[in-house]
Amino acid sequence: MPIKKYLLAPGPTTVPPEVLLATAQPVMLHRTKEFSAILTNIQSGLKELFGTQNPVLTLASSGTGAMEAALVNMLSDGDSILTVENGKFGERWAKIAKGYNLKVHTLRYEWGSVAKADDVAANLRQFPEIKAVFMQGCETSTTVYNPLKEIAAAVKAHDDVILVVDGITSVGVYETNMDEIGVDVMLTGSQKAMMLPPGLSFLALSDKALARMKTSNLPRHYFNLNIEYQNFLKNTTAWTPAVNLIYGLEKSLEIMRNEGFANIYKRHELCANATRAAVKALELEFVAKENPSNAVTGLYLPDNIDGKAFTSWLRENAGITFAGGQGKLEGRIVRIAHLGYHSQFDTIVAISALEMGLIKFGAQISPGKGLAAAQAELLKPLA
């Protein structure tokens, strides 16, 4: 096994040493002034990250927990919803809804395509009974970024429809600005752009969402956000929080604020541009047919390479962890993340590993061609 490992998958991502150290502090009782002070301190950073004046709730769960919490708190028995599917994570909404006696309309796209605001608008006109729309910011499985602003504008035209966005790989990658663009529930998880270990999820709620939460009646208890919100107002949490992850969160938000949110988004764009330039120079095909995400780049491997063998070889022999494909893309693609605690030279490592893997597996590429293209992109802001 290589001595040094590089985690370059779109979650979990690498955690900075300062954050790991923060999580190693002694556990404290959470019903204390000291812990409430930490909760107060994280709130301003979270609000800035989400672009909201409203509360951002922190739950002890993976991202899917926040997806389920959003769904059960925005709807009532027998309600109709619209789910937008342009990949594996989009399919999750309908799967969650199945357990709650909801009527599900689904807007489906070919994988690699983005969702279109016009289609959402047409569905809302055709099915006026729809109470909420569920979608992804970045669809991590196909590496596309959906046009959130346009879709939010289409939903906003309907006073009684809530827009829920899984921003698990878009919050912290792109400016979120949820109040301004009009997202009602924006959620994310700790293990992607937030530079934390897995285990926390976050939900920010608009005024419209807070009102809907009070009247929704689907079965729930742990994820009853009414209880969470009442506790939030008293500067505490409903249940025992993941105390040590919250120490880490305080540190990761401090690191983010020191870098500056605008600079974080620029860094993601730069590393994404460099990765895309390399993929292009190597004449490989992108998974994203349009709007490739700044969180992760997906590429098709040459037909004769087994994707699973490729990613395993890199992980086991070179210490490089890329993600393979999910669902129908399994074994065919590689996803290279550039999100969270990721710098320009992590991108260089990624491209170099990609090229070496391709050579090892017999692909006809010109070694260094991708690297040169990536370097040229990375030099641009330094010029």
Ligand X SMILES: *Cc1c(COP(=O)(O)O)cnc(C)c1O
Q: Which is nearer to ligand X, 84 or 168 (CB)?
A: 168
Exposed/middle/buried for residue 324 (C-beta within 10 Å: 0-12, 13-18, 19+): buried
Contact range with ligand X by CB under 6 A, out of 28-36, 103-111, 163-171, 313-321:
163-171
Contact range with ligand X by CB under 6 A, out of 162-170, 325-333, 361-369, 371-379:
162-170
Residue type for 349, please?
Answer: V
Q: Which is nearer to ligand X, 14 or 136 (CB)?
A: 136
> What is residue 105's DSSP assignment?
E
In whole angstroms, the minimum distance from the beta carbon of 334 to ligand X comes to 16
> Which member of 68, 166, 184, 377 binds ligand X (CB under 6 A)?
166
In whole angstroms, the minimum distance from the beta carbon of 157 to ligand X comes to 25
Q: Which is nearer to ligand X, 69 or 270 (CB)?
A: 69
Contact range with ligand X by CB under 6 A, out of 46-54, 161-169, 235-243, 332-340:
161-169
> Which member of 36, 41, 43, 62 binds ligand X (CB under 6 A)?
62
Q: Is 189 in the site for ligand X (CB under 6 A)?
A: yes
Q: Which is nearer to ligand X, 133 or 318 (CB)?
A: 133
Q: What is the C-alpha radius of gyration for the chain, rounded to an integer number of angstroms?
A: 21
Cα–Cα distances (Å) from 305 to 302, 333, 334, 358, 362, in that order, read 6, 10, 11, 9, 8
Closest CA to 148 of 140, 104, 122, 156: 156
Token code pair at residue 76: 């009532």
Contact range with ligand X by CB under 6 A, out of 30-38, 165-173, 220-228, 310-318:
165-173
Contact range with ligand X by CB under 6 A, out of 47-55, 58-66, 276-284, 324-332:
58-66
Q: Is 340 in the site for ligand X (CB under 6 A)?
A: no
Q: Is 292 in the site for ligand X (CB under 6 A)?
A: no
Q: Is 140 in the site for ligand X (CB under 6 A)?
A: yes
CB-CB contact of 187 with 135 (8 Å): no
Here's the x/- map for ligand X, 10-49, by CB under 6 A: it reads as xx--------------------------------------
CB-CB contact of 134 with 93 (8 Å): yes
In whole angstroms, the minimum distance from the beta carbon of 214 to ligand X comes to 26
Residue type for 108, please?
Answer: R
In whole angstroms, the minimum distance from the beta carbon of 246 to ligand X comes to 17
**How far, in whole angstroms, is CA 207 from its chain's centroid?**
23
Q: Is 136 in the site for ligand X (CB under 6 A)?
A: yes
SS3 sequence of 100-154: CCCEEEEEECCECECCCHHHHHHHHHHCCCEEEEEEECEECCCCEECCHHHHHHH
**Positive or negative torsion for Cα 327, 330, 333, 338:** positive
* Distance of alpha carbon 221 from alpha carbon 217, whole angstroms: 11
CB-CB contact of 207 with 52 (8 Å): no
Closest CA to 163 of 145, 150, 144: 150
Site for ligand X in 316-335 (CB under 6 A): none
Site for ligand X in 70-129 (CB under 6 A): 89
Contact range with ligand X by CB under 6 A, out of 57-65, 68-76, 258-266, 314-322:
57-65
Residue type for 12, please?
Answer: P
Ranges of H-type helices in 127-224: 148-156, 178-181, 207-215
Contact range with ligand X by CB under 6 A, out of 62-70, 219-227, 277-285, 351-359:
62-70
Q: Which is nearer to ligand X, 189 or 324 (CB)?
A: 189
* Distance of alpha carbon 262 from alpha carbon 176, whole angstroms: 11
Tell me whether the omega of the peptide bond preceding residue 197 falls within 30 degrees of 0, making it cis: no
Binding site for ligand X (CB under 6 A): 10-11, 62-64, 89, 136, 140, 166, 168-169, 189
